[in-house]
Amino acid sequence: MMSPAIELSNVSRKFISPKGKVTLALRDFSLQVREGEFCAIVGPTGCGKSTTLGMITGLNPPSSGSVKVFGKPVSGVDPKIGFVFQADAVFPWKSVLDNVACGPIFRGLDPSAARDKAADWVRRVGLAGFEHHYPHQLSGGMRKRVALAQTFINEPAILLMDEPFSALDVQTRAMMQEELLGLWSERKASVVFVTHDIDEAITLADRVVVLTKGPGSVKSVYDIPLPRPRATEARYTPEFIDLSRQIWADLKAEVSI
């Protein structure tokens, strides 16, 4: 039987403040993500969603339990993992092309070849003609396209996304969701996508995991049977609306406790 791409088993994570106060972010948390699966995580503020991503990267080891990537214990930062943050992780002094080329150059690719590869990815995310613009000359949606190109150019086997579209307006957010699904469908990385937006989770994911209030653990899991390719219009179907109501009921129960 093939090992999951990501496996967290009975994980707990404690944080200790400078004054010695202990905060338990996750408790007895278990999650498996299959190869090529798009998994979204939703939950109340402070339930450990971002902490979960930190453990998968190896930057935030668990206090107890185990975290494995492709069947091997996480022991450091894995180059097979890509990360898209809520804030734009772009270098303001570099052009769009040079920002996208940074990853391959850092990994040892010849700079000329890296820029050729970056030019292709800039085109693929719809920024042809903006190669020599700087981040301050771009809209929020365009900067997010740069971030996606920066990540996908490294061909990650696992993609971790921490509320990457939350700062965008509704129309741009919908466009970026479709852009992400298009790129993901080509590469089929295993995705863990953290969001507060239930409709966004259903639009994007194969499976939505709902966490309890902190310390977080799994409250419920919803398989999303909506067919792909899945456009924004899918959210107006009765199946989508029913799923949204069910997930909201779970979340509301946690927030109301």
pLDDT in tens, 70-126: 989 988 778 889 988 887 788 999 999 999 999 999 988 999 999 999 999 999 888
* DSSP for residue 216: B
Q: For the chain, which domains are there?
A: 1-80+158-257 (3.40.50.300), 86-155 (no CATH)
User: Distances from the Cα of 90 to the Cαs of 85, 94, 191, in angstroms?
Assistant: 10, 8, 21
Distance CA 144, CA 91 (A): 13
Question: Per residue in 165-221, pLDDT tens?
Answer: 888 888 888 888 888 898 898 878 999 999 999 999 999 999 999 999 888 899 999
Can you give the pTM of this predicted structure? 0.91
| Residue 182, both tokens | 């298009």
Distance CA 178, CA 229 (A): 9
Residue 34: band (very low, low, confident or very high) from pLDDT cuts 50, 70, 90: very high
CA 234 to chain centre: 21
Distance CA 101, CA 110 (A): 10
* DSSP for residue 36: T
Strand order across the beta sheet in which 158-162 lies:
81-84, 158-162, 190-194, 38-42, 207-211, 218-223
| Residue 238, both tokens | 């009765």
* DSSP for residue 228: S
